[in-house]
Chains A and B, each alone.
Chain A
Amino acid sequence: MNLNNLTHTSGEWLRGSGPESDIVISSRIRLARNLAAFPFTNRASAFQKAEIEELLRDRIAKLDLSPNLGYVKMAGLSLLDRQLLVERQLISRELATAEGPRGVALGAQETLSVMVNEEDHLRLQVMRSGLTLDTAWSEINHIDDLLEARVSYAFSDEFGYLTACPTNVGTGMRASVMLHLPALEHSKHIDNVFRALQKLSLAVRGLYGEGSRASGHFYQISNQVTLGKSESQILSEIQDVVPQIIKYEREARQTWLSENRQGLQDKISRAYGTLFSATMMTSEETMELLSYVRLGVNLSLVEDLSIPTINELFIHTQPAHLQKLVGEPLDGEARNAARARYLRSRLRESGASPN
Chain B
Amino acid sequence: MKCEACGQLATVHQTTLVEGQKRELHLCRPCAEERRLIQTNNELNLPAILQHVIGQHLGPEMDELARQRCPICGIRFMEFRAQGRLGCSNDYECFRIGLDSLLYRIHRSTRHTGKVPRQGVPTVVFEVALLRQRLRAAVEAEEYHEAARLRDLLRQREAGHESE
Give the B-binding residues of A (Cβ under 8 A).
34, 36-40, 42-43, 55, 59, 62, 93, 119, 141, 144-145, 148-167, 169-171, 173, 201, 203, 205-206, 210-213, 215, 224-231, 332-333
Contacts and interface: CB of A to CB of B under 8 A. Distances in A.
A17 B134 CA distance: 54
A170 to B, nearest CB: 5
A148 B118 contact: yes
Given A152-B157, A156-B122, A166 B102 contact: yes
B106 A36 contact: no
Interface in B41-100: 41-44, 46, 72-75, 83-89, 92-93, 99
Nearest to B117: A148
A43 B114 contact: no
Given A43-B87, A213-B35, A213-B36, A36 B108 contact: no
A178 to B, nearest CB: 16
Interface residues of B, number: 59
A37 B17 contact: no
A213 B34 contact: yes
Interface string B8-19: 000000001100
B124 interface: yes
A145 B124 CA distance: 18
A229 B43 contact: no
B141 interface: no
Interface of B: 16-17, 33-36, 39-44, 46, 72-75, 83-89, 92-93, 99, 102-103, 106-119, 121-122, 124-125, 128-129, 131-132, 154, 157-158, 160-164
A152 B121 contact: yes
A211 B37 CA distance: 10
Given A119-B85, A166-B102, A166-B103, 17 more contacts: A36-B89, A36-B121, A40-B86, A93-B39, A141-B115, A152-B161, A155-B122, A156-B112, A159-B111, A163-B86, A166-B86, A171-B115, A215-B36, A225-B106, A228-B108, A229-B109, A231-B115
A212 B36 contact: yes
Contact of B112 (A36, A43, A170, A213): A170
B158 A37 contact: yes
Contacts of B164: 62, 150
B130 to A, nearest CB: 10
Contact of B114 (A152, A201, A211, A231): A231
Contacts of B111: 158-159, 227-228
Given A39-B73, A152-B121, A167 B113 contact: no
Most chain B CB within a 10 A radius of its CB, from A36, A150, A171, A228: A36
Given A167-B44, A211-B43, A40 B85 contact: yes
A39 B70 CA distance: 11
Contacts of A59: 162
A228 B115 contact: no
B125 A230 contact: no
A227 B34 CA distance: 30
Contacts of A225: 106-109
B42 A227 contact: no
Contacts of A166: 46, 86, 99, 102-103, 106
A182 to B, nearest CB: 19
B109 to A, nearest CB: 2
B46 to A, nearest CB: 7
B124 A149 contact: no
B162 A154 contact: no
B137 to A, nearest CB: 15
Contacts of A149: 118-119, 161-163
A158 B87 CA distance: 19
Contacts of B102: 166
B103 A169 contact: yes
A211 B41 contact: yes
Nearest to A205: B43
B106 A167 contact: yes
Contact of B117 (A55, A153, A215, A227): A153
Most chain A CB within a 10 A radius of its CB, from B43, B44, B75, B88: B88
